[in-house]
Amino acid sequence: MGMILRYVCALAVCVIATAMTVFTAAPVSAQTTEICLGRVVTTMNFSATPTLVSGTALQPGAVYRYSNVNTGIDALVRVVAFNNGASLVTIDDNGAPAPGQSDLRPFFNPELGGSNARSVDFQFTFVISGTNTPIIFDFVSTAIDVDGDSGSLREYAEFQNNFAEYLLNSPTNLAVNASTPSAGNTRFESITSFTAPGIDPSANQNIVATFYTKKSGFNYRIGTLGSGSTVRLTSLQFTCPNLPAPVIVTPTPQDFGDAPNSYGNPRHDIVTGFRLGATVTAETAPYNSANASADVGDDGVTFGTLRPNNTAAVTVSVTGASGRLQAWFDWNRDGDFFDAGEQIAINVTDNGAGDSNSAVGTIGLSITVPLNAVVGQTFARFRWSSQSDLDATTIVGRDGEVEDYQVTILGAPVLTMSKTSVVYASTSPNGFNVPGNDVIYTITSSNTGSAATDSGSVVIIDSLPSQVEAYIGDFDGAGPSTGTVLFTQSNGAAMTYTQATDLRYSNLAATPTSFAACTYTPTVSGAYDPAVRHICINPKQSLGFGSPAPTITIQFRARIR
């Protein structure tokens, strides 16, 4: 479908009112792209001679087709209006360059005729080659050599306001909206009458670029201010300008990351209905927070326990149809996401491959922490956008959100065990291991690792030799009751032990495989039970780690048969 245009003319000035028809854009593939200041843009080449497809050449209403400005893409350029006596000398001066001049043939180079303050309006629509079907994609449009005539005439270029951001050099010779732009446009005008010879793509201070995301075209005006009758050659390129000191200005609100600067500074244009979590906040610059906690809108990701050589669950809340999730962890804590294995999600879609959660709006990731992951605090980054293959550091997302988190890779607990026995109440230095004497068994367990155990995960199952029978009663037989098993701890251990729930027995010949499998109930109290073959202990809470190693000790009695 085409554009519906209405013209209202007064005092020889035409004001354009544009009504867009609704269409469904066709996909584009196999295009030539480049990365321009972090944005992936489709480049376009206007070197082909345009074909007049309707209207009168060089007059309002004329439509020109540029074929194959990129693979599968044609550009339709409509001359919309002449204002204040303007004219077009040529639609596109794309002849071979004179010696010493730049080759402008890949650019769109209309010549503005008339005198004094005047302008010409154009409308660009990008379509599938050979058709009038619009195509949506990301592109950059760059006005080159916006200058003057060494007298009082100054040029300007106007772009339709639906761009995501614009780019100027610092310093620049261009002022933004210093004089009144036409409705719906932003004006970039020369602040001097400086004239670059011919069209000079290296005149950095006279260049402006605008970035359009998911658009099929835009409106464009070339004009002059002041007095003079010089024909003005203008130039518009659809590739990234090479500015030595680029400054990006963002009228579209954006979301930035907040991890430290070494992790790069990706950003996303904020688009309603595309986000991580419940909220997305607009920022003007990256936070580079030391602990990635500066962005209060980071609320979309929850983490399971991260331990080397273990699997962890990560849950991501997403909003936005056709979104794609990218995620990274800095496993080796070297300040970047560039190392092998650090990207743990690539283009994961809601309920697509890689999503273990069937609920709409929630992506479940099951990740394996590498065996060589470095224990300690590190950072993770999550990016959600309709754009595929976003990298971790630079590329601008045309929608969605980036969220950074400081996470902790826990070390593994390492439990060391020891068991000793002595004859109970013996006056001999070596005791007497003879039938009828009691033996005290002492079992110690220390956590010499770099992480605490999971709560309630410590289970000690001790198998008694067949030559002894367990004593079921007060361990020391004197003073306050200690129970059958005496539980003590040291070096900062802070577990809990309740004999009624944390002590069990087994009468099986084989060693039980779990605390729950210890199901025997002794038949005696204050006496020996020969049926008990295994003592089972399951203290609660976590056994911490540190130096010296937190330690728990259990003791119980048995009689030599």
Instruction: Give tens-digit pLDDT for 257-295.
Output: 999 999 999 999 999 999 999 999 988 778 899 999 999
**What pLDDT is stored for residue 480 in this prediction?**
67
For residues 50 and 66, the answer to whether their CB atoms sit within 8 Å is: yes
**What pLDDT is stored for residue 27 in this prediction?**
47
415-560 maps to which CATH number? 2.60.40
Spans in the chain with pLDDT lower than 70: 1-30, 149-151, 193-198, 425-433, 478-480
**What pLDDT is stored for residue 10 in this prediction?**
28
**What pLDDT is stored for residue 52 in this prediction?**
98
Tokens 């004329």 — which residue? 62
Which residues 6+ apart lie within 8 Å of 269 measured at CB?
A: 164, 213, 252, 253, 254, 396, 397, 398, 399
**What pLDDT is stored for residue 17 in this prediction?**
32
Task: Report pLDDT digits (tens) over 405-424.
Answer: 999 999 888 999 999 999 87
For residues 250 and 268, the answer to whether their CB atoms sit within 8 Å is: no
Q: Name the residue ranges covered by the structural domains of the chain.
A: 25-249, 256-409, 415-560
Segments of 206-309 assigned E as strands: 208-215, 217-225, 232-233, 235-237, 246-249, 254-256, 267-269, 275-276, 301-303
Segments of 483-526 assigned E as strands: 486-490, 503-506
**What pLDDT is stored for residue 14 in this prediction?**
32
Q: Tell me, yes or no, if the pTM score tops 0.85.
A: no
Strand partners, 221: 121, 158
CATH 3.40.50 is right for the domain spanning 256-409 = no
